Amino acid sequence: MGERLRETVTGKGMLMGFPIEIYAIQMLHGLVYGMLLFLVASGLTLVFGMMGVLNLAHAAFYMVGAYFAYTITRYTGSFWWSLLICPLIVGALGILIERFLLRKTYKGGHLGQLLLTFGLFFIMGELIRLIWGTAPLSVPAPQILAGDVSVSGMTYPIYRLFILGFSLLVLLGMSLVLTRTRIGIIIRAAVSDPDMVGALGTNVPIVFMGVFGGGAALAAVAGVIATPFLTTYLGMGDAALLDCFVVIVVGGFGSLFGAFIASLMIGELQSFGILWIPRLALIFQFLLMAVVLIIRPTGLFGEKE
Amino acid sequence: MNRLPVRQLSWGALGLAVLFILPRFLPEIRIHLMTEIFIFALFAVSFNLMFGYAGQLPFGLAALFGVGAYGTALVFNHFPGIPLLAALLIAALSGAVAAAFIGFFCVRLSGPYFSLSTLAFQMFLYAVALKWRSVTNGDDGMGVVRPDLHLPALGSISMRSIHNMYYLTLIVVTIGILACYLFLKTPLGNSVVTVREKEIRASFLGYNVFLIKLLAFSASGVLAGLAGGLFVLYEEFVATTSLDMNMAMTPVLMTVIGGSGHFLGPVLGAVFYLMLQDWISSLTSYWMLLMGGMFIVVVLYFQGGLISLLKLDWIWRLRNRGNR
């Protein structure tokens, strides 16, 4: 990839063998992927912070969202319908899973939850394989967002800018809900001390069910907007699961702000890793995780283990 | 140590005798299946050493299986003429070394962090196996020629026939499982269970919790690596499938469905899983789904697993779960 970029862009300034424009573009790429990752990881982090449940099936919600986006876009002919409908379906799925399966395991401790959510992750992957097959699928970006923009000699796909803008919008909405509304205050309180919130008269299980569904819907949103720029394929769940886990470890368990910073770090690391050392790009994030695990096992912004 | 467990030993000997005679009455394709069952029984037992006895869930145990598998294949391809048993020894050792290394980072974590960080290491190794084509041949995998077995007393035994591979696997797996059983009987094995029950109390009593967990994980790595090595010998091929997500899932499914609360639960799970796979996968492609559904049912409603149906507790009194 690096070689190709070197040929297509002819800039004046060079840095470590690459024109400076490349750095701007790679940084944008990293930002786009980081934001996408944060959309997936935020639900996971909130759920983990509230109930201590590490939901491995969460990455499957992202994958289910992407596959539904393919089908809905094909039938309705509009990407926007899938962006509207997918999160609703997947959110409902999340609520059902929490209510009827996951809730049974809270008393039993971590092992049961891990096993159950791992099993669900596996089953959802299998269902997708049976329904949609193994071939990678792709959805074209909507007409308005196709094409490139060029700013002072650099071209950049509009669709990626849309992802960036849209996920920033979601992030803004989420932070407004969490900091400015009553339900947001309850959620944040429940993250820091669920028992106390329950004792004060809030129905914590219902709040949790809502947060679980909301997290699933956010993952589905990420899946939908990812489809036109990453292809939809069976391994995307595995990749997302691992990336999300690295995000949670690096950012700190249960810390939303930490997840945000870590998502951007992983996005940039992957983006520049591919630029400099394409063959070892995958190793950087694991190195980062290993270093964080050794120096600060609770993560950069985590407080409780 | 207690006095010799005569009844258990005689049941074990009887079972082994049956397994030794069985190939005479089975068609070749069944012998293939049985060999595979032995290998995965060993893998599942090594998983349950961590899961059932140490109380930690190593999702990424297939990392060690894969290290053993790739280790064996690389040794065969780069040092032709190496004795077969030496290669298996290397598989076990490489499993142990990899486990000690991975464990050094992961064992200090507990619960979900331990589970997922082992999985992260596995995915890391998967990426290495996929990308480092000059060594691992990437997606295409590597073929291995199964060499003859040279024994001092018996001379040379051709491993071309699946019958001989069956017997070799049976013997190695029996030794591995027996070693695991005996390991759990030692004071070290008991302290593994102690740490699971109450880590803080164990460390107050002066146990080095980190070291005990690391040793348990390494022991588990020995068996998983050995299973990986046998798997390569049996398949005469190694590819990234020995490090992928399905391979991570396999021992988890086998152990939980078979029953993690019993030493032989994983073995039963491996038998059940592979026989069902053999039977159903020829009829329908839904079998993984069926297995996953069964897994969820066991996790939610039926934590004893299949082995609790058999009421075999009086044979092996090694109950590891207590009355939870």
Residue B101 falls inside a structural domain: yes
Contacts of B58 in chain A (CB under 8 A): none
Model confidence at B295: pLDDT above 60: yes
For residues A284 and A276, what is the distance between their CA atoms, to the nearest angstrom? 11
Contact A117, A54 (CB under 8 A): yes
Residue A184 falls inside a structural domain: yes
Range of the domain at B98: 26-253
Place of tokens 């109950």: B319
Pairing state of beta strands B142-143 and B149-151? Answer: unpaired
What pLDDT digit, counting tens, does each position of B7-64 carry?
878 888 898 899 988 888 888 889 999 999 999 999 999 999 999 899 888 989 999 9
> B133: nearest CA in chain A?
A279
Residues of chain A with pLDDT under 50: 1-11, 305
What pLDDT digit, counting tens, does each position of A172-192 carry?
888 888 889 998 888 888 877
Q: Pick from A69, A73, A106: which is nearest to A88 by CA?
A: A69
* Torsion sign over Cα B58, B63, B66, B68: negative
Q: Give the total residue count for chain A.
A: 305
Q: How many structural domains are present in chain B?
A: 1
Tokens of B235: 């398949």
Cβ neighbours of residue B312 closer than 8 Å, sequence gap 6 or more = B262, B264
* Torsion sign over Cα B164, B169, B170, B174: positive
Q: Give the total residue count for chain B.
A: 324
- Secondary structure class of B10 (helix, strand, coil): helix
Q: Does A290 touch chain B (CB under 8 A)?
A: yes
- The string of DSSP letters for A141-200 reads PPGGG-SEEEETTEEEEHHHHHHHHHHHHHHHHHHHHHHHSHHHHHHHHHHH-HHHHHHT
For residues B41 and B38, what is the distance between their CA atoms, to the nearest angstrom? 5
Nearest chain B Cα distance for residue A27, angstroms: 24
Nearest chain A Cα distance for residue B236, angstroms: 26
What is the pLDDT averaged over residues B242-246?
87
> A48: nearest CA in chain B?
B112
Query: Between residues 102 and 121 of chain B, which touch chain A (CB distance below 8 Å)?
Result: 105, 108-109, 111-113, 115-117, 119-121
Type and span of the H or E element at A14: strand A14-15
Confidence tier at B170 by pLDDT (50, 70, 90) = very high
Tokens of A46: 């909130």
For residues B66 and B240, what is the distance between their CA atoms, to the nearest angstrom? 8
- The predicted structure's pLDDT at residue A76: 87
The residues facing A155 across adjacent strands are A150
> A292: nearest CA in chain B?
B105
Residue B290 falls inside a structural domain: no
What was the ipTM of the complex prediction? 0.80
Contact A191, A178 (CB under 8 A): no
- The string of DSSP letters for B249-281 reads HHHHHHHHHH-TTBTTHHHHHHHHHHHHHHHHT
For residues B62 and B242, what is the distance between their CA atoms, to the nearest angstrom? 7
Cβ neighbours of residue A260 closer than 8 Å, sequence gap 6 or more = A38, A42, A171, A251
- The predicted structure's pLDDT at residue A174: 86
Q: Pick from B214, B245, B203: which is nearest to B105 by CA?
A: B214
Residue B304 falls inside a structural domain: no
Model confidence at B316: pLDDT above 60: no
Query: Between residues 248 and 277 of chain A, which touch chain B (CB distance below 8 Å)?
Result: 249, 253
What is the pLDDT averaged over residues B57-74?
94
Nearest chain A Cα distance for residue B231, angstroms: 23
Model confidence at B178: pLDDT above 80: yes
- The predicted structure's pLDDT at residue A12: 53
- The predicted structure's pLDDT at residue A204: 85
Model confidence at B172: pLDDT above 90: yes
- The predicted structure's pLDDT at residue B2: 55
- The predicted structure's pLDDT at residue A2: 44
> Based on the number of CB atoms within 10 Å of its own CB, is B157 exposed (0-12), middle (13-18) or buried (19 or more)?
middle
Cβ neighbours of residue B281 closer than 8 Å, sequence gap 6 or more = B287
Q: Which of B51, B57, B120 sits opposite A242 (nearest CB)?
A: B120
- The predicted structure's pLDDT at residue A6: 46
Least reliable range by pLDDT among A232-246, B200-214, B251-265, B277-291: B277-291
* CATH number for the domain that contains residue A198: 1.10.3470
Residue A300 falls inside a structural domain: no
Range of the domain at A115: 2-295
Residue B116 falls inside a structural domain: yes
Confidence tier at B318 by pLDDT (50, 70, 90) = low
Residue A301 falls inside a structural domain: no
For residues B90 and A155, what is the distance between their CA atoms, to the nearest angstrom? 54
Q: Pick from A267, A270, A287, A288: which is nearest to A278 by CA?
A: A270
Q: How many structural domains are present in chain A?
A: 1
Q: What is the mean pLDDT of chain B?
A: 87
Place of tokens 């993952």: A219
